[in-house]
Amino acid sequence: MVNFVINTLNQLYPEIPIPLDNKDPYTLLIAVLLSAQSTDVRVNKITPLLFERADNPNDMVKLTVEEIRDIIKPVGLSPMKSKAIYGLSQIIIDKYNGKVPQSFEALESFPSVGHKTASVVMSQAFGVPAFPVDTHIHRLMYRWNLSNGKNVTQTEKDAKRLFPKEIWNDLHLQIIWYGRQYSPARGWDIDKDIITKAIGRKSVIKEYYKSKKS
């Protein structure tokens, strides 16, 4: 079952694009923070405007929280996110000599940076094995009968237990792309979703066909 998932995803995504545009750990951290309750497409439209003004912590703290908020407003939750961006930029300057720290503990101490955001930065910016669980991975791990779907913490534990550590960083991105293209939450067509159709949780498949008949 696990090998089928890995092999199928490798065939579909031999090269894996990074969803959020970035050029270094700092711009990735900001982009991931902005993506909370937003879409990557929307974030990728806003970050060039923000990074044109400030693409490093020293320039970011030269802006006011209000200026940051005005730029990032389209991504949503701008009051909280603007304060977080300003605050973590100041911390990076004061405590880490202007460089994003390579530690889960340090990253998760930043305002509005949780375990998922820290995991994305550690895996994509620093190459440290991590398995960030977003809504797509949480949904698919349940559909594929690889986790119980209770919460993202359990889903992450199950993913790390089932999949080899050396492929976590690629695999979590492959699952995200697969979820978007073949197994979305809305407009789902199970006949195109080859993984779920082959190994999916029976109750999920049964419910899918029941909903199509009604």
> pLDDT tens, 59-114?
999 999 999 999 999 999 999 999 999 999 999 999 999 999 999 999 999 999 99
| pLDDT over threshold 90, residue 144 | yes
Please report the pLDDT score of residue 77 as a whole number: 97
Q: What is the mean pLDDT of residues 132-141?
A: 96
Percent of the chain topping pLDDT 70? 100
Q: Are 159 and 123 in contact (CB under 8 A)?
A: no
| pLDDT over threshold 90, residue 214 | no
The secondary structure element, H or E, covering residue 170 is helix 168-181
| pLDDT over threshold 90, residue 212 | no
User: Does 23 qualify as catalytic in the annotation?
Assistant: no
How does DSSP classify residue 146?
S
171 is a domain residue? yes
- Cα dist. 7→66, 115, 166, 171 in Å? 48, 28, 15, 11
Please report the pLDDT score of residue 213 as a whole number: 83
Q: How many CA atoms lie within 13 A of 95 on its CB side?
A: 13
| Residues 6, 83 share a domain | no
| Residues 150, 110 share a domain | no
Domain total in the chain: 2
Q: Give the whole-angstrom CA distance, residue 160 versus residue 45.
A: 33
Please report the pLDDT score of residue 112 as a whole number: 97
66 is a domain residue? yes
Q: What is the mean pLDDT of residues 124-129?
A: 97
| pLDDT over threshold 90, residue 191 | yes
Query: Where do the H-state alpha helices sit in 35-77?
Result: 40-53, 57-60, 65-72
Q: Give the whole-angstrom CA distance, residue 39 versus residue 36.
A: 8
199 is a domain residue? yes
**Range(s) of the domain holding residue 73:** 25-124
The secondary structure element, H or E, covering residue 174 is helix 168-181
| Residues 99, 37 share a domain | yes
20 is a domain residue? no
User: Does 134 qualify as catalytic in the annotation?
Assistant: yes
| Residues 72, 53 share a domain | yes
Please report the pLDDT score of residue 88 as a whole number: 98
Please report the pLDDT score of residue 48 as a whole number: 98
- Among the candidates 56, 91, 124, a domain finishes at 124
| Residues 34, 107 share a domain | yes
Candidates 51, 124, 127, 123; CA nearest to 89 is: 51
| Residues 99, 30 share a domain | yes
In the set 134, 160, 170, 197, the catalytic residue is: 134
In the set 81, 116, 158, 193, the catalytic residue is: 116
On the 0-12 / 13-18 / 19+ scale of CB atoms within 10 A, 210 is exposed
| Residues 206, 140 share a domain | yes
